[in-house]
Amino acid sequence: MISDFLDLGLSNEILNAVAELGFEKPTPVQATIIPRLLVEDGDIVCLAQTGTGKTAAFGLPALEYLDVKNPATQVLVLSPTRELCRQIAQDLTGFAKYIQGIRIVSVYGGAGIQGQIKDLEKGAHVIVATPGRLLDLIKRGAADISGIKTLILDEADEMLNMGFKDELDAILEQAPGGRRSLLFSATLPDEVERIAKSYMKDPEIVTVGQRNAGSENVEHFYYMVREEDRYAAMKRIADYNPDIYAIVFCKTREQTQKVADALQRDGYDADALHGDLSQAQRDNVMGRFKRKALHMLVATDVAARGIDVNDLTHVINYNLPQEIELYTHRSGRTGRADKKGVSIAIINQREKGKIRRIEAVIKKQFTKLPVPGAREICERQLAHLIDEINNVEVRDDIYAFMPTINEMWGDMSKDDLVRKVLSYEFNRFFDYYRKAKDLNIPEKEKKGRKDKDGMKDRQDAGEKGKTKKGKDGNPGECEKGFVWMRINLGYKNKVIPRDIVSIMKACGIGKQSVGKIEIFEEYLYVALKSSVAEYAKSQIHGAIYGRRKLSAILLQKK
Ligand code: ADP
Ligand code: MG
């Protein structure tokens, strides 16, 4: 696989723009698709997950082929939502930064059509459109697709899910025969196959990554609580993660609004995004979320569809979706562009089966986590606050006030001062959590069924499993042909051997490559087959587990 943009065959104009965007190496989709589009003919159906860099995969070659001197529309990108259209147009404009005179226009429903007509009148080498609005513009004679050379159907499965079948058919029937068609989709349902068969010329199907699988970089966790504690659990998750930047998925518009309102009332930077809002309201919410003025965006699946935010810390399933497919889409919002992602589900006792079904489809395991308690949350918040204080910039301006500060605080001991400053910020949390109950469901309530994942078991398992408790020390001998890897997770992080096996599995290391495990207070040692040890280390070192950054070192064999 080509691992350098310079080797893909792109022109300098494009390479410079790409470099400025900070793209260091092509993603697998880009490395696979771009050279084909540049040197081969033929239509392509590309199956790839969200967040894999598809826009540049089709966008860069399409821009290469474009003739700026020809005013006709040469590239047409169809996409399911307004947000996505704007995102794609914005990305393409970035890629085309050094292509003089190029015009990229996006048109979509839910916004005034007159302005879009005016935009098109000025010329559009590239149109990025939702199917409904484009058809409307074609009928009005404002858009002309008779000269297009490249037609891109982005997120084709989603366009069909959103009911654009007839519009797509109508547009595809009018598109000129000499074009090249590319279809991108995360899945290949019958309806997408039908489109490919009817309107594409013998397309080659290229699958990048595992089809239907959860994004590789995403870890999946769930918290099990009583139905009435769902919201309280959500709050605990937010409090336990002071740097949270998340999309919270709800089932319905009403619930989305309710949860967002409640979070706001409780003092969080949260807001709702759903179809009942006006476009102006949606733009406002999205703008604030992208600027990080909002830390939690509570959204329905459809509304969240076009959101392209790379550095989400979490995707939270306030409710699990009805369709498992949607879970894949949701969790694909995090762990993008090579970053690690965390997808969390809050479930009640009856929804465990759903977790198992999702696991079967995404081929990854969920880890059950205990809902953080008062003490853990307060500790995390305190550490965060101290961190922020440590990192604050001390400006010269403060020196002018030192006499006053000394006068008022001069007699106070350092300890007293620290306690007072932290309490000032922190009493609110203490007050709230003083009364906080344990949201975890006690064993006996689980209808007598033994739930091995329970928190109590989790602790017991430490004693029963092949682990060694106690202060940190050195591990014993590991199996022949294996080496020890030390990871900065220990008994105090409540890890049990099964978690380690899941972590390894998530990194692509199968059970047979994992040997003995010894867990100490602060660290654990896991024996790995020598042949995979280096790879495992590269995968695990720097990965995020829960909210902990892992560090891994391999112990030399004596
Ligand atoms: P998809 O359409 O497959 O969901 P996008 O094209 O929207 O994915 O890309 C996801 C994110 O990754 C975007 O923010 C994009 O800027 C970023 N990205 C794409 N290609 C690269 C790359 N080669 N290096 C770094 N970031 C990239
Ligand atoms: Mg995309």
Is 438 inside a domain boundary? no
Over residues 90-130, the pLDDT tens digits come to 999 999 999 999 999 999 998 899 999 999 999 999 999 99
What pLDDT was estimated at residue 85? 94
Select the more confidently predicted residue: 302 or 72. Answer: 72
Over 80: is that where the pLDDT of 468 sits? no
Nearest by Cα to 520 from 454, 555, 551, 476:
476
User: Taking the CA of residue 458 as centre, how many other CA atoms within 13 Å lie in the half-sphere pointing to its CB?
Assistant: 18
Are 379 and 359 members of one domain? no
Same domain, 244 and 176: no
Q: What is the DSSP string of 236-295?
A: HHHHH-TT--EEEE-SSHHHHHHHHHHHHHTT--EEEE-TTS-HHHHHHHHHHHHTTS-S
Q: What is the pLDDT of residue 19?
A: 93
Q: State whether the beta carbon of 370 lies less than 6 angstroms from ligand 1.
A: no
Q: Give 344's strand partners.
A: 221, 316
Question: What's the CA gap between 122 and 114, in Å, rounded?
Answer: 13
Name which of 157, 202, 203 is nearest 184 in CA terms.
Answer: 157
Q: Which ligand is nearest to the CA of 329?
A: 1
pLDDT band with cut points at 50, 70 and 90 for residue 469: low
In 3D space, the residue among 523, 503, 217 whose CA is nearest the CA of residue 514 turns out to be: 503
Mind listing the pLDDT tens digit for each residue in 504-521?
877 767 788 889 999 888
Q: 352 with 481, same domain? A: no
Q: Which of 4, 8, 27 to mutate to test the pocket of ligand 1 (most atoms within 8 A of CB)?
A: 27
Residues 417 and 501 in one domain: no
Between 518 and 210, the more confident residue is 518
- The answer to whether position 24 is within a domain reads yes
CATH number, domain containing residue 287 = 3.40.50.300
327 in the same domain as 307: yes
Q: Is residue 440 part of a domain?
A: no
Residue 302: inside a domain, yes or no? Answer: yes
C-beta of 381 in contact with ligand 1 (< 6 A): no
Q: Ligand 1 centre from 54 Cα, in Å?
A: 7
| Ligand 1 atom at minimal distance to the Cα of residue 310 | 14
**Residue 147 CA, ligand 2 centroid: distance in Å:** 24
Q: Which ligand 1 atom is nearest residue 26's CA?
A: 23
> Cα(506) to centroid of ligand 1, in Å?
22
- Please say if the pLDDT value at position 441 is more than 70: yes
Is 336 found in the same domain as 238? yes
Q: What is the mean pLDDT of the chain?
A: 86
- Cβ–ligand 1 contact at 331 (below 6 Å): no
Q: Which atom of ligand 1 is nearest to the CA of 154?
A: 2
27 in contact with ligand 1, CB cutoff 6 A: yes
Nearest 10 degrees: CA dihedral of 518, 520, 524, 526? -10
pLDDT of 537 strictly over 90: no
Q: For position 445, what pLDDT does the model report?
A: 57
Among 153, 177, 207, give the residue marking a domain's end.
207
Task: Report which protein residue has its CA nearest ligand 1's atom 23.
Answer: 26
Is the shortest distance between the CB of 458 and ligand 1 below 6 Å? no
Q: The dihedral of CA 252, 258, 261, 262: what is its sign?
A: negative
Residues 168, 52 share a domain: yes
Inter-residue contact 78 to 171 (CB < 8 Å): yes
- For residue 417, the enclosing domain spans 375-433
Please state the atom number of ligand 1 nearest to the C-alpha of residue 23. 24
CA-nearest of 223, 214, 220 to 453 is 223
- What pLDDT does residue 95 have? 97
pLDDT surpassing 80 at residue 64:
yes
Domain end position, chosen among 410, 433, 456: 433
pLDDT at position 297 is 96
Q: Measure CA of the first residue to CA of the last residue in the chain; give whole Å.
A: 38
Domain-embedded: residue 413: yes
| Same domain? 340 vs 196 | no
**Count of domains for the chain:** 4
Mutate to test the pocket of ligand 1, among 47, 155, 308, 330 (most ligand atoms within 8 A of CB): 308
Relative to the CA of 22, which ligand 1 atom is closest?
25
Q: How far is the CA of 266 from the centre of ligand 2 (A)?
A: 35
Judged by its nearest atom, the ligand closest to the C-alpha of residue 52 is: 1
Bridge partners of 518?
A: 525
Q: What is the CATH number of the domain that holds 533?
A: 3.30.70.330
Query: What's the pLDDT tens digit per position in 320-371?
Result: 988 777 888 888 888 766 667 899 999 998 898 889 888 877 778 899 999 9
- If asked whether residues 191 and 337 sit together in one domain, one would say no
Question: Per the domain annotation, does 213 fall within a domain?
Answer: no
pLDDT at 39: 84
Q: Residue by residue, what is the 3-state secondary structure of 98-154?
A: CCCCCCEEEECCCCCHHHHHHHHHCCCCEEEECHHHHHHHHHCCCCCCCCCCEEEEC
**Which residue among 30, 32, 55, 334 has the greatest number of ligand 1 atoms within 8 angstroms of its CB, and so is best to mutate?**
55
pLDDT, tens digit, 9 for 90 and up, residues 281-307: 888 999 999 999 999 999 998 888 767
Q: Is 79 in the pocket of ligand 1 (CB under 6 A)?
A: no
- Do 332 and 366 belong to one domain? yes
Task: Indicate whether residue 406 lines ligand 1 (CB < 6 A).
Answer: no
Give yes or no for a contact between 12 and 169, defined as CB atoms under 8 angstroms apart: no
Is the distance from the beta carbon of residue 54 to the nearest atom of ligand 1 less than 6 Å?
Answer: yes
Question: Residue 203 Cα, ligand 2 centroid: separation in angstroms?
Answer: 20
Task: Answer yes or no: do 310 and 351 share one domain.
Answer: yes
The pLDDT of residue 450: 41
Q: Are residues 381 and 364 in the same domain?
A: no
71 within a domain of the structure (yes/no): yes
| Ligand 1 neighbourhood includes 53 CB (under 6 angstroms) | yes
Residue 387 CB partners (closer than 8 Å, separation 6+): none
> Residue 19: CB within 6 Å of ligand 1?
no
Neighbouring CB atoms inside 10 A of 396's CB total 6
For residue 359, tell me if it sits in a domain: yes
Ligand 1 neighbour 51 (Cβ under 6 A): yes
For residue 438, is pLDDT > 80? yes
Q: From the CA of 543, how far away is ligand 1's center (Å)?
A: 20
- pLDDT category of residue 66 using cuts at 50, 70 and 90: very high
Does ligand 1 have an atom closer than 6 angstroms to the CB of 95?
Answer: no
